[in-house]
Amino acid sequence: MGNKGFKKWAAAGAMFFWSVAAWAEYKLNLQIPQTQLGEKIYDLHTIITVICFVIFVGVFGFMFYAVFKHRKSVGHKAAQFHENTAVEVAWTLIPAVILIALAVPATGTLITMRDTSEPDLTIKATGYQWKWGYDYLKGEGEGISFYSMLSTPRAQIDGSDVAGRNANPHYLLETDTHVVVPVGKKVRILTTAADVIHAWWVPALAVKQDAVPGFIRDTWFKAEKAGIYRGQCAELCGKEHGFMPIVVEVMEPAAYTAWVAAQQKKVAAAKVDPDKTWTLDELKEHGGKVYAQNCVACHQATGMGVPGAFPALSGSKVVTGPKAEQIKLVLNGKQGTAMNAFKHLSDVDLAAALTYTRNSWNNKTGEAVVPADVKALR
Partner 1 sequence: MSAVHAPTHDHGHDDHHAHKPSGIMRWVASTNHKDIGTMYLWFSFAMFLVGGVMALIIRSELFQPGLQIVKPEFFNSMTTYHGLIMVFGAIMPAFVGFANWLIPMQIGAPDMAFPRMNNLSFWLLPPAALLLIAAQFAPGGGAGVGWTLYAPLSTQAGPAMDLTIFAIHILGMSSIMGSINIITTILNMRAPGMGLMKMPLFCWTWLITAYLLVAVMPVLAGAVTMTLTDRHFGTHFFNAAGGGDPVLYQHIFWFFGHPEVYIIAIPAFGVVSQVIPAFSRKPLFGYASMVYATASIAILSFMVWAHHMYTAGMPVEAQLYFMYATVLIAIPTGVKVFNWVATMWKGSLTFETPMLFALGFLFLFTLGGFTGLVLSIVPVDIQLHDTYYVVAHFHYVMVAGALFSAFAGIYFWLPKWTGRMYNETLGKWHFWLSLVFFNVTFFVQHFLGLAGMPRRIPDYSLQFAEFNMISSIGAFGFGLSQLLFLYIVIKCITSGEKAADRQWEGADSLEWTHLPSPAPWHSFETPPVVK
Residues 266 to 325 in contact with partner 1, rule: CB under 8 A: 306, 308-309
59 scored as a contact of partner 1 (CB under 8 A): yes
118 scored as a contact of partner 1 (CB under 8 A): no
Say if residues 247 and 205 touch (Cβ distance below 8 Å): no
Select the residue interacting with partner 1 from 228, 280, 338, 377 (CB under 8 A). Answer: 338
Shorter beta-carbon distance to partner 1: residue 157 or 280: 157
Residue 364 identity (one-letter amino acid): K
Closest C-alpha to 37, from 120, 131, 92, 111: 111
Shorter beta-carbon distance to partner 1: residue 179 or 369: 179
CB of residue 143 to partner 1, shortest distance in Å = 26
362 scored as a contact of partner 1 (CB under 8 A): no
Residue 369 identity (one-letter amino acid): V
Helix/strand/coil for 203? helix
Closest C-alpha to 290, from 355, 337, 245: 355
Which one of 24-32, 182-190, 342-350, 355-363 is the stretch in contact with partner 1 (CB under 8 A)?
24-32
Say if residues 309 and 302 touch (Cβ distance below 8 Å): no
Select the residue interacting with partner 1 from 6, 9, 16, 91 (CB under 8 A). Answer: 91
54 scored as a contact of partner 1 (CB under 8 A): no
Integer angstrom CA distances of residue 156 from 131, 161, 246, 268: 19, 5, 19, 35
344 scored as a contact of partner 1 (CB under 8 A): no
Separation between Cα atoms, residue 221 and residue 54, nearest integer Å: 33
41 scored as a contact of partner 1 (CB under 8 A): yes
Separation between Cα atoms, residue 378 and residue 361, nearest integer Å: 27
184 scored as a contact of partner 1 (CB under 8 A): no
Phi, psi of 214 (to 5 degrees): 90, -5
44 scored as a contact of partner 1 (CB under 8 A): yes
Residue 25 identity (one-letter amino acid): E
Select the residue interacting with partner 1 from 87, 254, 268, 270 (CB under 8 A). Answer: 87
Which one of 140-148, 179-187, 214-222, 343-351 is the stretch in contact with partner 1 (CB under 8 A)?
214-222
CB of residue 370 to partner 1, shortest distance in Å = 29
Give Cβ neighbours of residue 234 (< 8 Å, ≥ 6 apart): 199, 200, 201, 208
Q: What residues from 143 to 182 belong to the interface with partner 1 (CB under 8 A)?
A: 156-159, 162, 165-166, 168-173
